[in-house]
């Protein structure tokens, strides 16, 4: 994840359920990072509140920024 522009989660392994927005954002090093959650394993509200652009399968668009 270090320096990545986007994090994509396409597996439902339990290790991913504990991912925190703060640690991922720090590793990515981006002002407004993007996470694509293909398995709905992360909490969209936590990631959006931490400054992420969140895209999840079947969850609609909850983002309130220009990157929709």
- Say what the pTM is: 0.80
CA torsion, points 54, 57, 60, 62, in degrees to nearest 10?
Answer: -20
What is the per-residue pLDDT across 4-48, written as a single tens digit (0 to 9) for each? 999 999 988 887 777 799 999 999 998 889 999 998 888 999 999
Question: How many CA atoms, within 13 angstroms, populate the side-chain half-sphere of residue 25?
Answer: 15
C-alpha 10/C-alpha 68 separation (Å) is 20
């Amino acid at each position: 994840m270090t320096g990545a522009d986007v994090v994509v989660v396409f597996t439902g392994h339990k290790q991913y359920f504990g991912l925190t927005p703060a640690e991922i954002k720090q590793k990515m090093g981006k002002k407004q990072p993007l996470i694509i959650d293909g398995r709905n394993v992360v909490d969209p509200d936590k990631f959006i509140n931490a400054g992420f652009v969140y895209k999840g399968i079947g969850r609609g668009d909850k983002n309130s920024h220009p990157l929709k």
